[in-house]
Amino acid sequence: MLSSVLIANRGEIAVRVMKTAKRLGLRTIAVYSEADAGAMHVRMADEAYCIGPAAARESYLVIEKIIAVAKQAKAEAIHPGYGFLSERAEFAEACAEAGIVFVGPPASAIRAMGLKDGAKALMQKAGVPVVPGYHGANQEPKFLKEKAYEIGYPVLIKAVAGGGGKGMKRVDKAVDFDEALASAQREAQGAFGDPRVLIEKYVLSPRHIEIQVFGDSHGNVVHLFERDCSLQRRHQKVIEEAPAPGMPAAMREAMGRAAVEAAKAVGYVGAGTVEFIADGSQGLQPDRFWFMEMNTRLQVEHPVTESITGQDLVEWQLRVASGERLPLLQENLSIEGHAVEARLYAEDPEKGFLPSTGKLHALEFGSAEGVRIDTGVEEGAEVSPYYDPMIAKIIAHGATRDEALDRLGAALAATVVAGPRTNVRFLKALTEAQGFREGDFDTGFIDRNVEALGAVPQPMDARAAAVGVLRLIQGDLKRLNQTGIDFRESPWEPAHADGFLLSNDPWKRKLAVVVDSETQNAVVTWSQSGPAVVFGTGAPVTPAAPTLYGFGPLFDFIYAGDKVSYPCDSKLVSAGDRVFVIRNGRQTEVRAFDPLDVDLDHLDGGGSVKAPMHGKVVQVFVEAGQQVAKGDRIAVIEAMKMEHTLVAPSDGTVTMVAVLAGEQVAEGAPVASIEAAEAQAA
């Protein structure tokens, strides 16, 4: 076995790899960017080295820096994790040159599978079924359009160098082809520096089913069954499971065999995944699946395979990298029960899944039977704008699919995140969604059900907001009491300490608060039973146990006449001047309105275009003085691997452009101002 390993990655995967490496007695070496100095993977490692600024391009993606640290630390091996340098053949070569073991396949295998066109051609030769389409060299738009016609619509245009769903466009009709092609090429050029595309038949009712393969340096290759990753959004996986629902034994056989053939065809060593697309329109059938691509690394969703096989795939990787034989042969592998994984992301499903950054004021995972949590952050850490927004993976195993999904649902319900917004409620809804529960789903399931899954703008949670206001009042009363000020003269003025009211009218006042960045008026009424808070026409919230300060520190309260005990379905997290109320997995943030904290940008007629999150300006499309129409592109901002296009809120004239391409912007920073056409006319 190896004696030491450097993990060229961050976050949950760095932590996950280190856990196994430590268990096997290896010395672990971490690398980190300046933004990750206090990160969990850094603290966990036996040694850690800073490799540069936050931007991955200047740290985690710089091969020379990582090799230099490996040499300095005398690392015997490097594990690349996933993402970053994991699928860069040059990195595997650089390791070899430096005499360091690369925990992964040979550079030649990475290269052979690196470009989708070459990989498809190779697979076709090896007798593996590939998606019908054109993956040749001719990139002439007219020619490609003819090919699309021959293949038959709908087709999928894919970047040859693609990954992460970028540069991928579905085209349903010939009239849309030219535009889709141009846009796919533009995206591919921008993301991969390579505009080439291929055209594929778009498989209807597509199920994404992939096979985990493993090879050793002695020529053995096995597969560890399939994973179903059909629950996707924008071609990105959201929930993965194993085995695939409705998988006939004959099809598992056929897919396993094809995947092993694929791995053998490129002399594969280590962990890899062969991704297939299956036509699920008439149930899964052994002759209706096709090769899509091979990922030459450990996959994000590998824990579901570990759960059903009882194997530790990182241990397998380290053993194989040490030159050992595969721990088990095909006949010794079997499936036990069912496993599901959900990716917990810092993003806001109610706002188009916009990434959300900031400090994790609370992060709790309930512990439950059959549940595994893989994470790289803890309470107090920052979700930074520089990297992938994944907070954790929640994996549940059960005897049956229903049991696994129930356990996953329970684990999600017990998950508390305060600070950044997350998709936890969305994931919970998915575990309960009818079609998915019944195993009747394909990759379009999420898109077809966004509304039912709650991924649309929702009205303010008035009850949660009122509870938040109660907490703010409580906090202020405590503070006032500590400073010796007679709270009866405080702006809150609880009726009377002895509960005696001078007049029959309860004391009532309007209180401006900011709920989820919108200013709102709460109405606070003081009576013998303490303060009651209400928003609009909602039911008032009052503390259940009034004390001298209005109510006790334990937060039982009365809502619409019912006593609600804390903690029940709500959780309160106070952080400085803010309160986060998490109710049924949804966060409501409440803070006192500060009249001095005026948002000047709001005063310019609403024509200001602001950065929706921290990120990098990739492109600016307008300049001052230019006329724009409502919906015209103003700029593109990239954050956490996603691009967001900012558009003109109205017709008008650009009066100011505040950013340059390449620049980093903060959330809420002005990007441009547009004077609306009506304003000009007036």
Binding-site ranges for Mg ion (CB under 5 A): 275
- Three-state secondary structure of 53-84: CCCHHHCCCCHHHHHHHHHHCCCCEEECCCCC
**Tokens 């329970």 — which residue?**
410
Question: Which residues from 541-570 bind ligand ADP, rule CB under 6 A?
Answer: none
443 binds ligand ADP (CB under 6 A): yes
- Residue list 451-470, contact with ligand ADP (CB under 6 A): none
For CA atoms 73, 76, 81, 86, the dihedral sign is positive
Neighbours of 659 (CB within 10 A): 21
- Looking at the Cβ atoms of 453 and 671, the one nearer to ligand ADP is 453
Q: Residue 650 in contact with residue 676, Cβ under 8 Å?
A: yes
| Listed residue (16, 41, 12) closest to 29, CA to CA | 41
**Span near ligand ADP by CB under 6 A; candidates 160-168, 178-186, 332-340, 501-509:** 160-168
Which of 80, 83, 409, 454 is the binder for ligand ADP (CB under 6 A)?
83
SS3 323: coil
Which of 163, 283, 538, 605 touches ligand ADP by CB under 6 A?
A: 163
593 binds, among ligand ADP, Mg ion, none (CB under 5 to 8 A by kind): none
DSSP of 425-452, one letter per residue?
Answer: HHHHHHHH-HHHHTT---TTHHHHTTTT
Please answer whether residues 499 and 528 qualify as being in contact, where contact means their C-beta atoms are separated by less than 8 angstroms: yes
Site for ligand ADP in 602-641 (CB under 6 A): 641
To the nearest whole angstrom, how small is the minimum distance from the Cβ of residue 371 to ligand ADP? 20
Residue 206 near ligand ADP by CB under 6 A: yes
| Cβ-based nearer residue to Mg ion, 144 or 277 | 277
Complex with Mg ion: residue 40 or 130, whichever CB lies closer: 130
> Among the options 27, 233, 288, 297, which is catalytic?
297
CB of 592 to ligand ADP, least distance (A): 37
Q: Cα(419)–Cα(422) distance, rounded to whole angstroms?
A: 9
Is the CB of 190 or the CB of 506 nearer to ligand ADP? Answer: 190
**Which entry of Mg ion, ligand ADP, none binds 390, CB below 5 to 8 A by partner kind?**
ligand ADP
Instruction: List the one residue out of 512, 517, 548 whose CA is nearest residue 531.
Output: 548
How far apart CA 639 and CA 616 sit, in angstroms, is: 6
In the bound state with ligand ADP, the residue whose beta carbon lies nearer, of 209 and 465, is 209
326 binds ligand ADP (CB under 6 A): no
**16 part of the active site:** no
Question: CB-based contacts of 85: which residues, under 8 Å, 6+ apart?
Answer: 8, 60, 61, 63, 66, 91
Q: Name, in order, each residue with C-beta under 8 angstroms of 267's C-beta and a sequence gap of 6 or more.
A: 106, 108, 109
Identify the helix (H) or strand (E) that includes residue 134.
strand 133-134
Both structure tokens of 439: 């195993």
Least distance (Å) between residue 120 CB and Mg ion: 13
Least Å distance between CB 361 and ligand ADP? 23
Enumerate residues 6+ apart whose C-beta is below 8 A from 578: 589, 590, 591
**Which of Mg ion, ligand ADP, none does residue 277 bind to, with CB < 5 to 8 Å depending on kind?**
ligand ADP
Options 232, 449, 529, 588; binder of ligand ADP; rule CB under 6 A: 232
Q: How far is the CB of 210 from ligand ADP (least distance, A)?
A: 8
How far CA 164 is from CA of 168, 188, 378, 660, in Å, comes to 9, 11, 26, 26
Find which of ligand ADP, Mg ion, none residue 442 binds, CB within 5 to 8 Å per kind. Answer: none
Tell me the C-alpha distance between 681 and 71, whole Å: 68
Q: Which of 275, 632, 667, 675 binds ligand ADP (CB under 6 A)?
A: 275
Task: From residue 278, give the alpha-carbon distance in Å to each of 85, 247, 281, 475.
Answer: 29, 11, 9, 57
Binding mask 378-417 toward ligand ADP (x if CB under 6 A, else -) reads ---------xx-x---------------------------
Asked if residue 202 binds ligand ADP (CB under 6 A), the reply is yes
Binding segment for ligand ADP (CB under 6 A), chosen from 34-42, 81-89, 105-113, 472-480, is 81-89
Count the site residues for ligand ADP by CB under 6 A: 32
Residues 303, 374 contacting (CB under 8 angstroms): yes
Mark 130-159 with x for binding to ligand ADP (rule: CB under 6 A) and - for no binding: -x------------------------x-x-
Tell me which of 32, 84, 134, 580 binds ligand ADP, using CB under 6 A: 84
With CA atoms as reference, report the closest residue to 53 among 366, 353, 361, 387.
Answer: 387
Structure tokens given for 670: 């002005």
Asked if 511 touches ligand ADP (CB under 6 A), the answer is no
Q: Is 277 in the site for ligand ADP (CB under 6 A)?
A: yes
Q: Which is nearer to Mg ion, 116 or 425 (CB)?
A: 116
Binding site for ligand ADP (CB under 6 A): 56, 82-84, 131, 156, 158, 162-165, 200-203, 206, 208, 232, 235, 237, 275, 277, 292-293, 295, 299-300, 387-388, 390, 443, 641
Positions annotated as catalytic residues are 297
